[in-house]
């Protein structure tokens, strides 16, 4: 049985109107990529989990005023995440300085925030999102379910009403296309 699929714009409008079910669907769709983006910035799982929660808390508050520019909420969520993660990294840096007996030791121990790497990572996310936006509707849904939400091939196939082989083959082509694009930009 295929599940009804809603666009991000529909989900954002429903969630902005107070629908917790629509917001849960957005969370399930984008929690994983937002977490990994946060982890890349803050460098550890506990802080990345905090940033993930902060990102979605801010998103919940801002959804009523959101006018979605593209087909995906991910660029908007990634922007919120980068801001929240950068704030957390600065806060952790300040805390290390306050609690260290020797401030110079705190500087040596603290992992510096690599702003240049954050920019490169952000550009790569934008590039991947642009490539995904160019995919056909079925390929976008396969990518969303398998790559972003972690569905197994069979579960994605059942949700989309296609065969396991269709999901496996299309996802393989999508990943190859994204890897090629990423390498060309590097």
Rounded Cα distance, 87 and 162, in Å? 43
In this predicted model, what pLDDT tens digit does every residue of 83-123 receive, in sequence order? 888 888 888 777 777 776 655 554 554 455 555 555 556 66
Show me where the domains of the chain are located: 1-112, 135-186
Rounded Cα distance, 6 and 137, in Å? 12
Top pLDDT among 74 and 119 is at 74
In this predicted model, what pLDDT tens digit does every residue of 5-41 receive, in sequence order? 678 889 999 999 999 999 999 999 899 989 988 888 8
Looking at CATH, the fold of the domain delimited by 1-112 is given as Rna Polymerase Sigma Factor; Chain: A (1.10.1740)
Of 26, 170, 77, nearest to 178 by C-alpha is 170
Q: At residue 134, does pLDDT exceed 80?
A: yes
Q: Are 55 and 38 in contact (CB under 8 A)?
A: yes
Rounded Cα distance, 62 and 81, in Å? 13
Of 57, 30, 12, 7, nearest to 125 by C-alpha is 30
Confidence label for 82 from pLDDT (cuts 50, 70 and 90): confident
Q: Are 89 and 83 in contact (CB under 8 A)?
A: no
Rounded Cα distance, 38 and 46, in Å? 10
Arch. (CATH architecture) of 135-186: Orthogonal Bundle (1.10)
């Amino acid at each position: 049985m295929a599940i009804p699929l809603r666009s991000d714009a529909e989900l954002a409008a429903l969630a902005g109107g107070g629908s917790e079910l629509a917001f849960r669907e957005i969370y399930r769709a984008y929690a994983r990529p937002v977490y990994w983006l946060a982890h890349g910035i803050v460098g550890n799982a506990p802080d990345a989990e905090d940033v993930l929660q902060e990102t979605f808390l801010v998103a919940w508050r801002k959804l009523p005023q959101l006018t979605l520019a593209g087909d995906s909420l991910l660029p908007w969520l990634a922007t919120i995440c980068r801001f929240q993660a950068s704030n957390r990294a600065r806060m952790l840096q300040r805390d290390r300085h306050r609690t260290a007996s020797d401030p110079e030791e705190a500087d040596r121990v603290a992992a510096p925030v690599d702003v240049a790497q954050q920019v490169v990572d952000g550009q790569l996310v934008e590039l991947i999102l642009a490539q995904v936006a160019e995919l056909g509707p079925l390929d976008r849904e396969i990518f969303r379910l398998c790559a972003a939400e972690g569905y197994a091939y069979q579960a994605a196939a059942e949700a989309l009403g296609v065969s396991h082989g269709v999901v496996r083959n299309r996802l393989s082509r999508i990943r190859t296309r994204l890897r090629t694009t990423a390498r060309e930009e590097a």
